[in-house]
Amino acid sequence: MRKSGNIISCENSNKRLQIGESQCGNPYVSSQIGKDGHAMSYYWNYSSPLGMITLFSEDGRRLFGLWFDGQVYDRSLMPEQEKTEKENLSVFRKAAEWLDQYFSGKDPGIFPDLALTGSEFRRMVSEEMLKIPFGATTTYGAIAKQIAARTGRPRVSAQAVGGAVGHNPLSVMVPCHRVVGKNGSLTGYAGGFEKKIRLLENEGVDLKQRGLFVPKAPSYSSGGAGQAEEKRKTEEQVKPALRWPDGKPRCHWCKSDNERYIRYHDEEWGVPLHDDHRLFELLILEMFQAGLSWECVLNKREAFREAFDGFALERVCSYGEEKLEELRDNPGIIRNRLKIRAAVNNAKIFRKIQAEYGSFDRYLWHWTQGKTLREIGRTTSPLSDAVSADLKRRGMKFVGTTIMYSYLQAAGVIHSHEEGCFLYRPPEDME
């Protein structure tokens, strides 16, 4: 087996720790109470061909986490408090044997002692990923359809699936690396593109044959026939998704058969917003997007504007039960009772934030000191995590990190037009 180090026991004499409040220094995981009344969490390092992997167990029986060092949402960076050398836990020994077999290019099957954590939606996404065969791939959209069928919903957002895939705490074993974009782009792996590619190649996947590619072309230095050929091949893979009849290349998600969607992409998405009225409208519409698609919401935007009195903040704040019932009976909008009620709740909190900061614009842009960030290929970020947590703390509903990331992109706080899109701005132009 390839392994190193000892089991780390992180102990604390406080009561059971809640997720997000680990006294051991990890902001994401909770701990179990041992017989001596101390909180216990167990870690072990496994040395893989792709770098060090940290294994984590809350109860000593099941595997709760598996992360490559340095990956996004990596929890192995927790400061060590107390190290205790112990006999290898059975779950770690079995995990190491599973990883040995996997990295030898063999299919070890599903690891039997996995603890799928997180929300019900994230657990469902994990369950669907476990169904992807060794050496196969699927798309975010395909998983969204599977979950919609399981839950009886008319539609589930592929973007929401992307957020769950990106936060997968059990890399490799819950094979999030087998999930790709609908056009073959290798997006959304917290461990990075290189590891995603190498994991797929380890399973015998021929990327070229499958039409898989890294969406953002690498930088190429001048000179060298090999580099020029590599660049040409990469561009050949990217261009088909960007060709448009009017000659303007656009982001791959923009649909050429929806004029409303095209205008939104060209004229609104990613343009920095500083008007509180438009920021309020966008926040409510993004909230209604939860579990659906933005195209669905955009197609109903005019109906929403009429139903919500032009998104006049004071009017929405004053809505009573009679108006809420009227909205629930309106066929032109998304008639979700919880979202309609949350819209009024969020309007009142929006107004409180205005009073606290002088405007919602000041509140929103203070997170980046007024600067626009440049990010591509993500559905969440530390920024969206922070904004989401703050709005939830204030009492807003349907403002999870994926929804807030979409909001930040739409409002221009995060610029995500893809390289190759005619609206793309290189990093040097973002200051």
DSSP 310: G
What gap in Å lies between CA 96 and CA 364, rounded to an integer? Answer: 45
- Which residues sit opposite 402 in a β-bridge? none
Q: How far is CA 201 from CA 169, 205, 207, 373, in A?
A: 22, 5, 8, 33
> Residue 278 in contact with residue 312, Cβ under 8 Å?
no
Listing DSSP states for 29-76 in one string gives ---EE-TTS-EE-EEEEEEETTEEEEEEESSSSSB-EEEETT-TT--T
Q: How crowded is residue 240: how many other Cβ atoms within 10 Å of its Cβ? A: 11
Place of tokens 């599903």: 110
Nearest Cα neighbor of 169 from 72, 30, 62 is 72
Query: 286, 405, 407, 418: which one is catalytic?
Result: 286
Q: What is the CA radius of gyration of the chain?
A: 23
Query: 294, 319, 405, 424: which one is catalytic?
Result: 294
Measured distance between the N- and C-terminal CA atoms of the chain, rounded to whole angstroms? 49
What is the sign, positive or negative, of the torsion defined by CA atoms of 407, 410, 411, 416? positive
Instruction: List, in order, residues 6 or more apart from 39 with CB less than 8 Å away.
Output: 10, 11, 12, 13, 14, 16, 17, 23, 24, 31, 32, 33
Phi, psi angles (nearest 5°) of residue 414:
-120, 125
- Which residues sit opposite 180 in a β-bridge? 139
Active site residue 322: no
Query: 11, 28, 230, 264: which one is catalytic?
Result: 264
Q: How crowded is residue 335: how many other Cβ atoms within 10 Å of its Cβ? A: 12
Taking the mean position of all CA atoms in its chain, how far away is CA 258?
26
Nearest Cα neighbor of 139 from 128, 152, 155, 151 is 128
> Residue 89 in contact with residue 57, Cβ under 8 Å?
yes
> Residue 346 in contact with residue 397, Cβ under 8 Å?
yes
Active site residue 286: yes
Active site residue 294: yes
What gap in Å lies between CA 383 and CA 402, rounded to an integer? Answer: 11
Phi-psi region of 5 (alpha: psi -120 to 50; beta: other; left: phi over 0): left
> Residue 316 in contact with residue 308, Cβ under 8 Å?
yes
Element of type H or E holding 362: helix 360-366
Catalytic residues: 264, 286, 294
